[in-house]
Amino acid sequence: MIPAAFDYLRAHTVDEAFALLQQHGAEARVLAGGQSLIPAMRFRLARPGVLVDINSLTDLSYLRAGKTVLEIGAIARDRDIERAPWITDRRWSLVHDASRVVADPVVRQMGTVVGSLCHNDPAGDWTAVALASRAEVVVRGKDGTRQVRIDDFLVDSFTTAVQEGEMALSVQFPAPDDRTAGSYQKVERKVGDFATAAAAVQVSLNEDGTIRSAGVALSAAGACAVRVDAAEQLLAGQKPGAELIRAASDAAWHRSEPQADLRGTVEYKKHMAGILVARGLRQAFARLGVEA
């Protein structure tokens, strides 16, 4: 289908992009990779009057893997993350796993992590990864920039804390230490499909082998990605083991509130949410050299 008519404006600086968004208000939408927005416009699910293209803002194409934070700029592509030299470090295993299963290689050439977070599809991959990693999104608004915790950023399906006239500049993932590993587990009907069910898991161990902290989140399990607080709480302070994993898996089953659709029934998706959390935890522990 052909989108409704719109004006196309290409910004050359962040200031210019921001000024255009402020000028056009509710009419305007940011165009990043276009992998969600353009299909939505073609199906007339979105009808922005103005597109503000940020693809020329090369100063937002960075991936900065620092000591305390990994910052991903608004036009860094999924493929950039998948190919980053540091991504194979065990500490980044959650982000690495996800970077290889988001959509397909063609979509990953253009799609951005920040765009995916801003789109906030209920079955998106990066939203669950961001929750389990306790990421923060840097948003530019009228009063300057602010950091928004991912839990506050993801408001509802296709709705985020980015307000009219604002744009997201980057997402920051806290840098995990050497005793941290993660795993992203996704069931999809075929390569390139959205998740039927998916789980993002990240665990950090103390020196004595007990769990210092855990991040557990699900995609395709509600209006948008959800944190499994109960699993995180019961894991913290415990020794990894089969019983503990079973309890975390049960907590995920309880937390999952999926919709039935062509990808599966509610029962199947809830069942898979539990299974995937268990698989993710086992893999994360194995990556840390712990059999559980």
Ligand X SMILES: Cc1cc2nc3c(=O)[nH]c(=O)nc-3n(C[C@H](O)[C@H](O)[C@H](O)COP(=O)(O)OP(=O)(O)OC[C@H]3O[C@@H](n4cnc5c(N)ncnc54)[C@H](O)[C@@H]3O)c2cc1C
Residue ranges in contact with ligand X by CB under 6 A: 29-37, 39, 74, 102-103, 107, 110-112, 114-116, 118-119, 121, 124-126, 162, 167-168, 192-194
Q: How far is the CB of 155 from ligand X (least distance, A)?
A: 13
Q: How far is the CB of 136 from ligand X (least distance, A)?
A: 14
280, 200 in Cβ contact below 8 A?
A: yes
Q: What is the DSSP string of 216-263?
A: EEEESSSSS-EE-HHHHHHHTTSPP-HHHHHHHHHHHHHH--PPPBTT
Q: How far is the CB of 22 from ligand X (least distance, A)?
A: 13
Q: How far is the CB of 120 from ligand X (least distance, A)?
A: 8
Q: How far is the CB of 173 from ligand X (least distance, A)?
A: 16
Output 32 or 211, the one with its CB closest to ligand X.
32
Output 29 or 282, the one with its CB closest to ligand X.
29
Output 207 or 262, the one with its CB closest to ligand X.
262
Output 11 or 251, the one with its CB closest to ligand X.
11
Q: What is the 3-state secondary structure (H, E, C) of the chain?
A: CCCCCCEEEECCCHHHHHHHHHHHHHHEEEECCCCCHHHHHHCCCCCCCEEEECCCCHHHCCEEECCCEEEEECCCEHHHHHHCHHHHCHHHHHHHHHHCCCCCHHHHHHCEHHHHHHHCCCCCCHHHHHHHHCCEEEEEECCEEEEEEHHHHEEECCEECCCCCCEEEEEEEECCCCCEEEEEEEECCCCCCCCCEEEEEEEEECCCCCEEEEEEEEECCCCCCEECHHHHHHHCCCCCCHHHHHHHHHHHHHHCCCCCECCECHHHHHHHHHHHHHHHHHHHHHHCCCCC
Q: How far is the CB of 175 from ligand X (least distance, A)?
A: 22
Output 101 or 277, the one with its CB closest to ligand X.
101
Output 18 or 253, the one with its CB closest to ligand X.
18
State the Cα–Cα distance between residues 140 and 60, nearest whole angstrom.
Answer: 13
Q: How far is the CB of 199 from ligand X (least distance, A)?
A: 14
Output 200 or 288, the one with its CB closest to ligand X.
200
Q: How far is the CB of 30 from ligand X (least distance, A)?
A: 4
Output 160 or 180, the one with its CB closest to ligand X.
160
